[in-house]
């Protein structure tokens, strides 16, 4: 067994590998860029080596610097995590040439599966179902338009070396192909150094299901059941679970057999995943097709660990050291249900725009006996950088049933505190509560279908609003009593009103506080709440539910977040409410004539020039942020009055790109 390994990655996956290595008694070496000098993975490891500037292309993607770090520290093996160099065959070959072990599959398997075009040919030869499409290289936009027409719309354009949702565009028409093909090529080149693109039929009502594989160097290969990864946004996974609510035992067996056959055909060992697209419109479960094979550990691997009890990182290390898998296919279990949500630095209330900045407050729910697991690589006071993926953490919950795992997600998300950059915690909670999610009727279009007008918070039923009204009135009563007690005006117990008017999100509730209960609009509310003035969080119980509250103050208002929705609340004694001028909502200025950058990023393309006439919905500019290209479109018809930014410019949030007359 190795005595020291180097982790060629950063963030949560580096921390996750270090934890397992430490448990196994293996010393660890971290590598870091300028931006990560004070990151948790650096302090967790036994040693740390600086490898370059903040951009990944100048640090984490520099194979020679990783090898130099191995030599300098005496690391015998490298775990690549995911992303960066994890699926680069040349990196594996370079390590082997220096006598350093790679904790992953052989270079030949990475090369075979890393090229999506070639991998489909291999899958066909191995007897694996493959999505209809064009298996070959596409020369230019006109060629792409011709191929798409032959396949039949809708089609998916994908970067051949892509992954992680990058370098992908769905096209419903020729216009979509013309607008998106070059963006796919650029994203593939920028993210993976390869601008080749392929096109395949888009399966309608698609579900994204993947099979986890594990093999050793002695010819043993098993699958560890499936994961459902259909909840995606822009092809980036948001929610993963294991098992899938759609997959039957027979489907699981057939999918697993095909995945193992493909892996065996390329001499695979270590952990890997075969991704499948499944037609949700086919109740027989017969319509599943090979998408790609990820020759690495997946972001969502914790849900598989939760239902099987197998530490995948430990097994990867043992396989790399030459050990035999300690179990057979028949011994792979499936216990309970696990769900993972990805906490991203993005603002769902503003179209999921990427967000960066300092984590002023970071307090995740504590893992432990509740079957809650948090995988992260950040700490309070740290920076969410523009240089890397926007994922802050992964929240994993396990329960005996799917409903129980989802309920635990909601409870844990209520306790997850993040201040500073925008985050998607409210959105994740809304997903976990959504009736369609609860029913298991999932497709990769779930988010677009259920939130066509964007996200504005999870629905709040009237009972919950009554509970919040009672809590706000009770807290206002406590604050008033404290103020009178400390003012020196009273010697005895302070007298405070019991009747209050509470405004929540523009609606008034009449609240009467009693002994151990409250009357809200004539509804009796009984429960408990531990919120005290000055606290940021609280727990409360109401009729039939338990709430975790995050509380902030803004002027005279309380901002209360629970169960995926932010509520603005204010309380006044009922006798004063008719005389008070409640806050009037300000009418925002009309900015439709300005094209503003919605996030910090790089202006990579201007689609129009000064004097051009434009129509609503027409592409105006393309901004790259966090390795993704975002096409900005006109909100209305008009003429370009002025262009205020040049291609190649670095843009701040709300920077004016151009103006319309």
The per-residue pLDDT for range 411-461, each reduced to its tens digit, is 999 999 999 999 999 999 999 999 999 999 999 999 999 999 899 999 988
Query: Lowest-pLDDT range, 499-503, 574-578, 626-630?
Result: 626-630
Higher pLDDT, 589 or 280: 280
pLDDT at res. 485: 67
Sign of CA dihedral 427, 432, 438, 443: positive
pLDDT at res. 580: 64
Q: Catalytic amino acids? A: 292
pLDDT at res. 449: 94
The answer for residues whose C-beta is within 8 angstroms of residue 254's C-beta and 6 or more apart is none
Q: Which CATH class is domain 132-201?
A: alpha beta
Give the Cα separation of 101 and 2 in Å (integer).
9
Give the Cα separation of 524 and 596 in Å (integer).
49
Rg (CA), the chain: 27
pLDDT at 83 over 80: yes
pLDDT at res. 561: 94
Specify the residue for token string 């405070």: 496
pLDDT at res. 350: 86
Summarize pLDDT for 261-296 with one digit per residue, the tens.
999 999 999 999 999 999 887 777 678 999 899 999
- CATH fold, domain 207-230+248-450, is D-amino Acid Aminotransferase; Chain A, domain 1 (3.30.470)
CA-closest candidate to residue 79, choices 11, 163, 5: 5
Give the Cα separation of 219 and 7 in Å (integer).
26
DSSP classification of residue 644: -
Give the Cα separation of 208 and 444 in Å (integer).
7
Kindly give the interhelix angle for 301-308 and 312-320, rounded to the nearest 10 degrees. Answer: 100
- Ordered DSSP codes for 75-128: --EEE--SSTTTT-HHHHHHHHHTT-EESS--HHHHHHHHSHHHHHHHHHHTT-
Q: How far is CA 559 from the centre of its chain?
A: 25
pLDDT at res. 46: 98
Average pLDDT over residues 319-333: 97
Summarize pLDDT for 551-561 with one digit per residue, the tens.
998 888 889 99
Higher pLDDT, 545 or 409: 409
CA dihedral 8, 13, 17, 22 (to 10 degrees): 110
Peptide bond into 243 cis (omega under 30): yes
Summarize pLDDT for 357-378 with one digit per residue, the tens.
899 999 999 866 689 999 999 9
Pull the structure tokens for residue 269: 């060992």
pLDDT at res. 467: 93
Q: How far is CA 209 from the centre of its chain?
A: 17
Pull the structure tokens for residue 395: 């929240």
Predicted TM-score of the model (pTM): 0.82
- CATH fold, domain 594-660, is OB fold (Dihydrolipoamide Acetyltransferase, E2P) (2.40.50)
What is the three-class DSSP state of 569? strand
pLDDT at res. 160: 80
What are the boundaries of each domain within the chain? 4-103, 132-201, 207-230+248-450, 462-579, 594-660
CA-closest candidate to residue 600, choices 622, 625, 620: 625
pLDDT at res. 479: 81
Band of the pLDDT at 583, cuts 50, 70, 90?
Answer: very low
Higher pLDDT, 634 or 42: 42
pLDDT at res. 488: 55
pLDDT at 585 over 50: no
Phi-psi sector, 425: left (phi>0), alpha (psi -120 to 50), beta: alpha
Summarize pLDDT for 186-203 with one digit per residue, the tens.
888 887 788 889 898 888
4-103 domain in CATH 3.40.50.20? yes
pLDDT at 185 over 70: yes
Give the Cα separation of 145 and 153 in Å (integer).
11
pLDDT at res. 307: 98
Give the Cα separation of 239 and 261 in Å (integer).
28
- CATH fold, domain 462-579, is Glycoprotein, Type 4 Pilin (3.30.700)
Q: Could you count the other beta carbons within 10 Å of the beta carbon of residue 637? A: 12
Specify the residue for token string 């197998």: 310
pLDDT at 19 over 60: yes
Tell me which H or E stretch contains 467: helix 462-486
What is the three-class DSSP state of 167? strand
């Amino acid at each position: 067994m190795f005595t020291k390994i180097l982790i060629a990655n950063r963030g949560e996956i580096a921390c996750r590998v270090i934890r397992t290595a430490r448990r196994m008694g293996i010393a660890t070496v971290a590598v870091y860029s300028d931006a990560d000098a004070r990151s948790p993975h650096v302090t967790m490891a036994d040693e740390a080596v600086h490898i370059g500037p903040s951009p990944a292309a100048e640090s984490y993607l520099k194979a020679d610097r990783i090898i130099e770090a191995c030599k300098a520290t005496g690391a015998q093996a490298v775990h690549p995590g995911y992303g960066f160099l994890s699926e680069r065959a040349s990196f594996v070959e370079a390590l082997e040439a220096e006598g350093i072990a790679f904790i992953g599959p052989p270079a030949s398997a990475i090369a075979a599966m890393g090229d999506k075009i070639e991998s489909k040919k291999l899958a066909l030869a191995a007897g694996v179902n493959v999505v209809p499409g064009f298996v070959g290289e596409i020369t230019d936009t006109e060629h792409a338009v011709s191929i798409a027409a032959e396949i039949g719309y809708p089609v998916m354009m994908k970067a051949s070396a892509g992954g992680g949702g990058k370098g992908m565009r769905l096209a419903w028409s020729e216009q979509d192909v013309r607008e998106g093909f070059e963006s796919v090529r650029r994203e593939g080149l920028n993210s993976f150094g390869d601008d080749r693109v392929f096109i395949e039929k888009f399966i309608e009502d698609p579900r994204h299901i993947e099979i986890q594989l594990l093999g050793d160097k002695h010819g043993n290969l098993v699958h560890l059941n499936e994961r459902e990864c259909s909840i995606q946004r822009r092809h980036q996974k948001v929610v993963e679970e294991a098992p899938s609510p759609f997959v039957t035992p027979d489907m699981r067996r057939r999918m697993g057999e095909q995945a193992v056959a493909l892996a065996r055909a390329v001499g695979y060992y270590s952990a890997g995943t075969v991704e499948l697209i499944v037609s949700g419109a086919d109740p027989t479960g017969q319509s599943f097709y090979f998408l790609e094979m990820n020759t690495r550990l997946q972001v969502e691997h914790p849900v598989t660990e939760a239902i099987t009890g197998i530490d995948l990182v430990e097994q990867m290390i043992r396989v790399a050291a030459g050990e035999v898998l300690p179990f057979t296919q028949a011994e792979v279990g499936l216990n309970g249900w696990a769900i993972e949500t990805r906490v991203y630095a993005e603002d769902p209330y503003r179209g999921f725009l990427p967000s960066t900045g300092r984590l002023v407050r970071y307090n995740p729910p504590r893992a432990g006996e509740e079957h809650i697991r948090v995988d992260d690589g950040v700490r309070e006071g740290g920076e969410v950088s523009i240089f890397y993926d926007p994922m802050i953490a992964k929240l994993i919950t396990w329960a005996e049933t799917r409903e129980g795992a989802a309920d635990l997600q909601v409870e844990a998300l209520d306790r997850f505190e993040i201040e500073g950059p925008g985050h998607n915690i409210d959105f994740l909670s809304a997903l976990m509560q959504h009736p369609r999610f609860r029913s298991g009727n999932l497709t990769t279009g779930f988010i677009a279908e259920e939130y066509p007008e964007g996200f504005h918070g999870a629905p709040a039923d009237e009972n919950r609003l009554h509970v919040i009204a009672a809590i706000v009135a009770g807290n206002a009563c406590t604050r008033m009593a404290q103020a009178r007690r400390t003012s020196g005006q009273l010697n005895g117990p302070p007298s405070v009103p019991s009747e209050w008017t509470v405004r929540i999100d523009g609606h008034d509730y009449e609240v009467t506080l009693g002994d151990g209960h409250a009357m809200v609009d004539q509804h009796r509310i009984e429960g408990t709440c531990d919120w005290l003035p000055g606290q940021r969080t609280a727990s409360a119980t109401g009729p039939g539910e338990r709430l975790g509250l995050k509380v902030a103050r803004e002027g005279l208002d309380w901002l209360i977040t629970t169960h995926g929705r932010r509520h603005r609340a204010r309380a006044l004694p009922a006798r004063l409410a008719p005389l008070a001028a409640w806050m009037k909502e300000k009418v925002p200025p009309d900015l439709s004539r300005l094209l503003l950058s919605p996030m910090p990023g790089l202006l990579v393309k201007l689609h129009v020039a000064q004097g051009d006439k434009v129509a609503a919905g027409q592409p105006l500019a393309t901004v790259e942020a966090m390795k993704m290209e975002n096409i900005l479109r006109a909100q209305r018809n008009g003429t370009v009055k002025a262009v205020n930014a040049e291609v190649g410019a670095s843009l701040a949030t709300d920077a004016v790109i151009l103006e319309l007359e």
